[in-house]
């Protein structure tokens, strides 16, 4: 998973490049005179798996949890977004919360098994700008921040090693959507950030296909991954969360 980001970027750029020569269309960018307010809300289910390492007070737990394992002990999960646009500009807020607990393999004979519990708020906030919009293609650039608030508890031999912390990473990215038919579309979203300001590196990518089943409602099925490499004062979080996404979007 550490090298999946080049695949996301290559797929998205290939898709974007492939839209030009096929159909000659007039590009229509929203203007101040024709602009109007638009709102999009969505609720998603994200069947995420976790891969990487978590370090708490010098104790490192290798994490390799598949969704089927997480689902058995999933205490709570929620994922949704709201986006408001006016003309070319918009604001997007993407909120994720999960309370996960399971047992993971320890890194030594003294600790063959570690009880792992994680509560996480992950919030992406973007300012969006529409670069291209015509009858079939939309391309936006994104800039903003990713907020992480994490509480981790490692249980080893009747001892608990816990830490709660939060940090903010600057991120920049893009969003691309291509109409395939009157009802179906392809979407790709990606960003990258951190830049050693908080995290050493963080990135995310999502690709998916949507079904427009009414004028204002879409269903989306895709795959999403978010990778974070953060360390500070004895706490380390080098985790990639990834898995299929399914959701419903409503626009008005």
Output the domain CATH number for residue 198: 2.40.128.100
Using the predicted structure, report yes or no on whether residue 241 has a pLDDT greater than 90: yes
Q: Return the sign of the alpha-carbon dihedral for residues 163, 165, 171, 174.
A: positive
Which two three-digit tokens encode residue 107?
């890194």
Question: Of 25-29, 52-56, 109-113, 114-118, which one has max mean pLDDT?
Answer: 52-56
CB-neighbour burial class of residue 213 (10 A; exposed 0-12, middle 13-18, buried 19+):
exposed
For residues 32-52, average pLDDT: 85
Alpha-carbon gap, residue 108 to 79, rounded angstroms: 36
Query: What is the extent of the structural domain holding 77?
Result: 4-251
Residue 226 · residue 122 · CB < 8 Å: yes
**Residue 29 confidence (pLDDT):** 46
Q: Give the DSSP letter of residue 216.
A: S
Confidence of residue 24 (pLDDT cuts 50, 70, 90): very low
Alpha-carbon gap, residue 27 to 147, rounded angstroms: 35
Using the predicted structure, report yes or no on whether residue 74 has a pLDDT greater than 50: yes
**Residue 249 confidence (pLDDT):** 98
Using the predicted structure, report yes or no on whether residue 36 has a pLDDT greater than 70: yes
DSSP, collapsed to helix, strand or coil, labels residue 33 as coil
Other CB atoms within 10 A of residue 109 CB: 6
Model pTM? Answer: 0.83
**Residue 15 confidence (pLDDT):** 44
Other CB atoms within 10 A of residue 71 CB: 12
How many domains, the chain? 1
Using the predicted structure, report yes or no on whether residue 5 has a pLDDT greater than 70: no
Using the predicted structure, report yes or no on whether residue 77 has a pLDDT greater than 90: no
Q: Give the DSSP letter of residue 57.
A: T
Confidence of residue 111 (pLDDT cuts 50, 70, 90): low
The candidate with the shortest Cα–Cα distance to 199, out of 155, 172, 166, is: 166
The candidate with the shortest Cα–Cα distance to 124, out of 97, 88, 89, is: 97
**Residue 16 confidence (pLDDT):** 41
**Residue 35 confidence (pLDDT):** 65
Structure-token match 């979203």, residue found: 189
For residues 113-136, average pLDDT: 95
Query: Higher-confidence residue: 184 or 12?
Result: 184
DSSP, collapsed to helix, strand or coil, labels residue 9 as helix
**Residue 114 confidence (pLDDT):** 86
Using the predicted structure, report yes or no on whether residue 150 has a pLDDT greater than 50: yes
């Amino acid at each position: 998973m550490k090298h999946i980001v080049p695949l996301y970027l290559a797929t998205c750029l290939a898709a974007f490049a492939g839209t030009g020569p096929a159909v000659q269309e007039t590009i229509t960018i929203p203007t101040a005179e024709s602009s109007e307010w638009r709102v999009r809300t969505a609720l998603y289910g994200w069947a995420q798996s976790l891969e990487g390492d978590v370090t708490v007070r010098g104790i490192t737990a290798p994490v390799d949890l598949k969704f089927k394992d997480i689902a058995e002990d999933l205490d709570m999960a929620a994922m949704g977004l709201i986006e408001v646009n006016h003309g070319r500009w918009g604001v997007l807020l993407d909120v994720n919360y999960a309370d996960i607990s399971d047992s993971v393999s320890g890194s030594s004979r003294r600790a063959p098994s570690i009880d792992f519990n994680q509560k996480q708020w992950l919030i992406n906030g973007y300012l969006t700008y529409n670069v291209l919009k015509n009858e079939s293609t939309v391309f936006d650039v994104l800039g903003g921040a990713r907020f992480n608030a994490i509480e981790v508890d490692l249980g080893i031999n009747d001892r608990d090693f816990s830490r709660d912390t939060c940090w903010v990473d600057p991120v920049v990215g893009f969003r691309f959507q291509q109409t395939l038919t009157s009802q179906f579309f392809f979407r790709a979203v990606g960003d990258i950030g951190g830049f050693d300001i908080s995290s050493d590196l963080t990135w995310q990518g999502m690709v998916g296909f949507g079904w427009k089943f009414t004028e204002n409602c879409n269903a989306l099925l895709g795959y999403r991954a978010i990778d974070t490499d953060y360390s500070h004062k004895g706490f380390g979080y080098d985790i990639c969360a990834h898995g299929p996404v399914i959701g419903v979007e409503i626009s008005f």
